[in-house]
Amino acid sequence: MLTSKQRAYLKGLAANENAIIQVGKGGITENLIKTVSDALEARELIKITVLETAGESPREIQERLCEATGADGVLVVGRKVVIYRESQDNKQIVLPKK
């Protein structure tokens, strides 16, 4: 669980990042969950675009992906979603202390 200070720090890091994954009409599939999990392991912080054809709101997509991957939701703005999960092997982001 992230503190508000940690969440604010991650929001700042995510501001300059581009979305690397899109969720469309196929919604959340096992393949998408694996892709998101692999991206989180490699980058720790990822931005996802939720297309209007997804059938679910960006907030719902974020909650489902976080639950499926063990990640923490950082931000939902418009159709963009940002999630974070500490990498096991490739730690790059040092969060502020709790």
For the chain, the domains span 4-84
For position 90, what pLDDT does the model report? 84
Average pLDDT over residues 44-50: 97
pLDDT tens sequence across 58-87: 999 999 999 999 999 999 999 999 999 999
- Asked whether the predicted pLDDT for residue 98 surpasses 80, the reply is no
- Coil vs helix vs strand at 16: coil
- Asked whether the predicted pLDDT for residue 2 surpasses 80, the reply is yes
- Asked whether the predicted pLDDT for residue 89 surpasses 90, the reply is no
- The CATH class given to the 4-84 domain equals alpha beta
For position 66, what pLDDT does the model report? 97
